[in-house]
Structure 1
Amino acid sequence: MNYEDEFSQDEDDDQDFLLDDENYAMSPSASQFMYRRQRLSSTNSGVVQNVPKLMDFIPDDIDKKHDEMFQFEDDVKLSYQDIPPPPGLSLKPGNLPPSGFGPSTSQGKPPATVKPIGFSITRIGEPMTQPMEEVEKPKPFAVEKLKASEPGKRSSSKSPSRQAKADGWEPPKGLTPNASSHRLSQLAAISSAPATPKRQRRRDAATKELVNLVVVGHVDAGKSTLMGHILCKLNFVDQKTIHKYKQESSRQGKASFAFAWVLDETDEERNRGITMDIARTFFETKHRRIVLLDAPGHRDFIPNMITGASQADAALLVVNANIGEFESGFDKGGQTREHAMLLRSLGVSQLIVAVNQLDKVEWSQDRYKDVESQIKVFLERTAGFTNIKFVPCSGLSGENLIERPNESCDLRKWYNGPCLIELIDELQAPKRVVDGPLRAIINDIFKSTSTSLSVSVKVESGEIQVNDKLYIMPNADQALVKAVTNDDGGASDCVYAGDQALLTLFGAFEPDTIHPGHVLTSGGKDALMPGRRFMARIVVFDIPIPIMKGTKAELFCHSLCEPVTFVKLVSEISKNNGKVLKERPRCLARNKSGMVVIETERDVAIEPYTVCKPLGRITIRLNGQTIAAGIIESRTD
């Protein structure tokens, strides 16, 4: 017999035993020696339930293992007056005799006693004649010793949270039910900490303007090859390295991927022939310092593409001019359209479109014009771009990348415009919020211990100097900046808004608690406070199923990815003027716009768009498809 059969048989035996006990008729001679427990009904307080059962007479000291049993002889005829009471106990009315009187087969154990509680004895079968006496409950000793404070003489030390609350700070409502008091105290201390004083240091005026450029496009459009070839032509990759890449790629039968390997550095990316994560590098043009962000084009890696695009000031959209290749990327389901929509929703307004691989169609002007006209209509009318520039080129042959085509190239016959690097050099750096409160987004973590962190950050607002005391949100961990490495790999003592930097932070960090999407902030009234529930204004994309109350999706904001729920549809509004068209709609269908309340599963470091634009832009995806984008209007928790 297996264990399950044995267990089932034991349960049946136990049930039969209990049923036999309850139905067993005791003789009067034995029952008069049994103590009957008085039971109070929970629904009829003060009334003793006089329903005798065998289970009512079981003393408190019966062994739970049922290895001890009490036996009584039927011929014993004694009354409870003949039983000698235990020492010190007087059997008077109102006192309860001890349990377990009478012959017992307990092995040497003394009879169990019950402390008197004011009940009178009732024989089995006799009605209750004396009501239960009211017993005053003794007061706990600690309560008796307490004394009320006299008015005006009460004093207590204030915790950081109390002190901050007295100064006018209130803890975030979304944190109160679930967050620990320790974390609330940390947030209160951060908010009440002295603000970082304004510093007079500014970036050197002679320094070239910094532009963060993201490269996007459909898979196999040639993005990595194009940018890798530019880096080689600009001498940011030495000839020995590129020669090594050419030999290794040829041995694997992928000779055309040599320039792509400049940016695709992992073995998996090289074996699969696609970019899977953001590749970050740096180069300079005549008037600009460029931080290059090479984004993946495969639809499975759209979250990584969003992370790169959220850091960008401008974008380079690469399209494949080959017949059939452009159509597959631009038609519904291709990544060209989705990448363009994501760029615009993430705040990118400057766009260069590189019509790549034009050499494979013999530098056809007609093909170039056809591609340009199709994509220009979409970018202007649907995506909303106004600043768009087009350039024909070939990433593999290198034509029109850093130099205009020579007379021998067929492209020169009909194109006299600028080359790609000239257009990149004309990109404008956006206005930086150097004087604003510190907001630095963690994009990657390179080294993490219990006392130090090495993180890659994008400074969106303010500045960071060595020895600054910062706070990591939403965890509220304190950190000290010990070293700063700027975007070109050189050591520095200060980075400003717009910079990409590597920071070394010292502090007490719990393992695996710091992630991309966390934000560095300074203390004081301008500190970023995390939250969960937000009011957002969104635009719904071309989706088959409308957004309804309770819809669950993924929220993307800067480097953050977090599950989110639509908890309320506030209104449907006009795209043109923002006027309310319908209050509390049942759903938001395709191409509609509305105000919604969203709630994340955990506290997140985002805030209204009016406070910090990069931390207020959101993108919402569901089942691998972008369903909406918008901005955070306010916090509602």
Structure 2
Amino acid sequence: MVHHLKAFYYFLFLYIYFFIYFFCKKMLDFLCLTDPPPEPAGENMNSTWINSQDSLDKQSPTSEVNDKSPTSDGHVPADSWEEAADAATPSPSRETPPTPDEDDEDEPSESDTIEKKKKKKPIEEEEETFKKEPVNVIFIGHVDAGKSTIGGQIMYLTGMVDKRTLEKYEREAKEKNRETWYLSWALDTNLEERDKGKTVEVGRAYFETEKKHFTILDAPGHKSFVPNMIGGACQADLAVLVISARKGEFETGFERGGQTREHAMLAKTAGVKHLIVLINKMDDSTVEWAESRYNECKEKLIPYLKKVGFNPNKDIMFMPCSGLNGTNLKEPLESSICPWFKGPAFIPYINELPPLNRNITGPFMMPLVDRYNDRGTIVMGKTPVTIDTLWRDDDEVNAVHCGENVKAKLRGVEEADIMPGFVLCDPSNPCKTGRVFDAKVVILEHKSIICAGYSAVCHIHSVAEEVTVKMLICLVDRKTDEKSKVRPRFVKQDQVAIMRFETSGVICMEAFRDHPQLGRFTLRDEGKTIAIGKVLKVVE
């Protein structure tokens, strides 16, 4: 009897044990607690954000990063000494970007859905933006001429900065004893820039007119930050040279070693063809809208601007203004203030500028001018990547057009592997890379002679790389363009020569005649621009 009871309890225990086991297993399966679902493709740690100088008229889902490439194949006109490279390219009508098929997309997570609701621009609004031509405009000139103030005033007048924000800037500026600088804080967002009252990095902002979508590039005016100015100039379609009419300030910027001359020359070298000269601070007590002071500044500027390659009759527009008060920026001047100027105001004038000729049929090339979290090592070579997301003006979009400043999220590359100066391009038609190249160079300013072995810093768009003269090939006559038959031993100021250069690292470049934006460069030494040049041939 005892043995029968033991057997009964034994089988009862086993029955209860297996019942509990299978019951718990079924419950776990039902609650999906066994294995987590795999992460959706494209949401891994290999995604990185980049800022781009330019983009072409089509999406490129799979592209290739060429390291150390400075420029875009988008339109910036050639300079006056190679007009053949500036042939106009007809722009075909732009098509509305296709709406992605919802069935083909991965199911978004809750956080992604919230983010898209906040940031995703409606398709209708996107189409409206595409109808407006993108134009990149850089404000250049000597320090304290009023570039950032004019930029901030334009943002306020076009509704990009509201009155409450402006009042906040005004209070904060007053606390720092900089009452008249509050408008510049719309662009000078860095605390160091606000404390010192000087622009250091190229500021970036946006505004729209009836016909165009403008990107403001606010260049630093101090001579210590000329390399930053060059990086901004290479992105520009239009340059605005800001001049201070205040007594003594114009002379300091133009005649006494200021940056007015160098900035104008660098803008032309970077490919900017149309220049607007804003003669600012006309309301100052030393000027009081005097026509004589306006004409004095104009007459001194025109000969120099003509010398660097601008045509005074068709490339330059002069305007008086007051950046602090906004006079002649949006509304025309009243005759009671300035009876002698009958021209248009600044914003209406740039709204009516003719469309730019962009090479939208050329190979896809998108220069990278910035990235997030500057860390890690540089990886040389070619890296296939995929464009995951596109952003314009902090709004997520489906497509971007040639000439726009955009932000892109790349998949397939670590952020430490991307540096400013790399270029995103079509794998089937990549940019040329090399270290040795032949170039035609104009020596602008150099006290001593230049021989083989001379080193300087080469600014080829957003890349600054040390170069050495390997060989002097020949001299070129500035009038007849004839080449000397004897190889020169040296070159000096005001001479034109063909030289062979070698860079310290690999960069991306093309012959100027093929891609002007990939073939222009500036040579600087000891804080001065000594020469400008164009690439003739990439040797190796």
Q: Which residue number in structure 1 is paired with residue 419 of structure 2?
A: 515
Matched, 1:242 2:166: yes
Q: 1:449 to 1:547 in 2, by over 3 A?
A: closer
Task: Compute the TM-score of the two structures, normalised by the length of structure 1.
Answer: 0.62
Q: Which aligned pairs between 1:526-565 and structure 2 lie closer than 5 A?
A: 526-565=429-468
Matched, 1:597 2:497: no
Matched, 1:433 2:359: yes
Q: Which aligned pairs between 1:601-612 and structure 2 lie closer than 5 A?
A: 601-612=504-515
The amino acid of 2:223's aligned partner reads R
Q: Aligned partners of 1:505, 1:201: CA distance in 2, in Å?
A: 28
Could you give the per-residue CA deviations for residues 257-285 of structure 1, whole angstroms, max 9, x where no partner exists? 00000000000000010100111111111
The Cα shift of 1:491 comes to 1.6
Q: Which residue number in structure 2 is paired with residue 506 of structure 1?
A: 411
Q: Which aligned pairs between 1:71-86 and structure 2 lie closer than 5 A?
A: none
| Number of aligned residue pairs | 415
Q: Which residue number in structure 1 is paired with residue 121 of structure 2?
A: none
Gaps of 5+ in 1: 1-185, 188-199, 451-471
Q: What SS does structure 2 have at the residue aligned with 1:495?
A: coil
Matched, 1:218 2:142: yes
Q: Which residue number in structure 2 is paired with residue 353 of structure 1?
A: 277
Matched, 1:495 2:400: yes
RMSD of equivalent CA atoms = 2.2
Indicate if the aligned counterparts of 1:530 and 1:603 stay in contact, CA closer than 8 A: yes
Indicate if the aligned counterparts of 2:208 and 2:214 stay in contact, CA closer than 8 A: yes
Could you give the per-residue CA deviations for residues 203-261 of structure 1, whole angstroms, max 9, x where no partner exists? 55971222111110000101000111111111110111111000000111100000000
Matched, 1:367 2:288: no
Indicate if the aligned counterparts of 1:474 and 1:604 stay in contact, CA closer than 8 A: no
Q: Which aligned pairs between 1:4-403 and structure 2 lie closer than 5 A?
A: 202-204=94-96, 207-360=131-284, 361-386=287-312, 387-403=315-331
The amino acid of 2:502's aligned partner reads E
Q: Aligned partners of 2:320, 2:93: CA distance in 1, in Å?
A: 43
The amino acid of 1:546's aligned partner reads I
The Cα shift of 1:577 comes to 3.8
Could you give the per-residue CA deviations for residues 422-452 of structure 1, whole angstroms, max 9, x where no partner exists? 22223334311122111111111125799xx
Q: 1:407 to 1:290 in 2, by over 3 A?
A: same
The amino acid of 1:559's aligned partner reads S
The Cα shift of 1:337 comes to 0.3
Q: Which residue number in structure 2 is paired with residue 168 of structure 1?
A: none
Q: Which residue number in structure 2 is paired with residue 457 of structure 1?
A: none
Indicate if the aligned counterparts of 1:474 and 1:519 stay in contact, CA closer than 8 A: no
Matched, 1:476 2:382: yes
Q: Aligned partners of 1:299, 1:448: CA distance in 2, in Å?
A: 25
Indicate if the aligned counterparts of 1:275 and 1:296 stay in contact, CA closer than 8 A: yes
Q: Aligned partners of 2:257, 2:444: CA distance in 1, in Å?
A: 13
Q: Which residue number in structure 1 is paired with residue 52 of structure 2?
A: none
Matched, 1:421 2:421: no
Q: Aligned partners of 1:286, 1:497: CA distance in 2, in Å?
A: 19
Could you give the per-residue CA deviations for residues 515-535 of structure 1, whole angstroms, max 9, x where no partner exists? 1111111112x2123210011
Indicate if the aligned counterparts of 1:608 and 1:633 stay in contact, CA closer than 8 A: yes
The Cα shift of 1:418 comes to 0.8
Instruction: Compare 574-583 and 220-229 and name the one that shifted more.
Output: 574-583
The Cα shift of 1:340 comes to 0.8
Q: Aligned partners of 1:495, 1:536: CA distance in 2, in Å?
A: 34
Indicate if the aligned counterparts of 2:156 and 2:162 stay in contact, CA closer than 8 A: yes
Q: Aligned partners of 1:582, 1:260: CA distance in 2, in Å?
A: 55
Instruction: Compare 375-384 and 278-287 and name the one that shifted more.
Output: 375-384
Q: Which residue number in structure 2 is paired with residue 26 of structure 1?
A: none
Indicate if the aligned counterparts of 1:350 and 1:427 stay in contact, CA closer than 8 A: no
Q: Aligned partners of 2:415, 2:501: CA distance in 1, in Å?
A: 29
Q: 1:476 to 1:522 in 2, by over 3 A?
A: same
The amino acid of 1:399's aligned partner reads T
Q: Aligned partners of 1:335, 1:319: CA distance in 2, in Å?
A: 11
The amino acid of 2:300's aligned partner reads Q
Q: What SS does structure 2 have at the residue aligned with 1:580?
A: coil
Of Structure 1 and Structure 2, which has the larger fraction of its residues in helix?
2
The Cα shift of 1:414 comes to 1.3
Q: 1:406 to 1:547 in 2, by over 3 A?
A: same
Could you give the per-residue CA deviations for residues 284-342 of structure 1, whole angstroms, max 9, x where no partner exists? 11221111111000000000000000011110000010111101110152100001111
Q: Which residue number in structure 1 is paired with residue 31 of structure 2?
A: none
Q: 1:473 to 1:522 in 2, by over 3 A?
A: farther
The Cα shift of 1:579 comes to 1.4
The alignment-based identity, stated in percent, is: 36
Indicate if the aligned counterparts of 1:477 and 1:509 stay in contact, CA closer than 8 A: no
The structure with the largest alpha-carbon Rg is 1
Q: Higher relative contact order by CA 8 Å / sep ≥ 6: 1 or 2?
A: 2
Q: Aligned partners of 1:606, 1:430: CA distance in 2, in Å?
A: 23
Indicate if the aligned counterparts of 2:371 and 2:415 stay in contact, CA closer than 8 A: no
Q: 1:553 to 1:256 in 2, by over 3 A?
A: same
Q: 1:535 to 1:429 in 2, by over 3 A?
A: farther
Q: What SS does structure 2 have at the residue aligned with 1:626?
A: strand
Indicate if the aligned counterparts of 2:268 and 2:308 stay in contact, CA closer than 8 A: no
Q: What SS does structure 1 have at the residue aligned with 2:300?
A: helix
Q: Please point out which of 510, 523, 529 is paired with 1:620.
A: 523
Q: Aligned partners of 1:269, 1:577: CA distance in 2, in Å?
A: 48
The Cα shift of 1:355 comes to 0.3
Indicate if the aligned counterparts of 2:449 and 2:491 stay in contact, CA closer than 8 A: yes
The Cα shift of 1:506 comes to 1.3
The amino acid of 1:403's aligned partner reads E
Q: What SS does structure 2 have at the residue aligned with 1:405?
A: coil
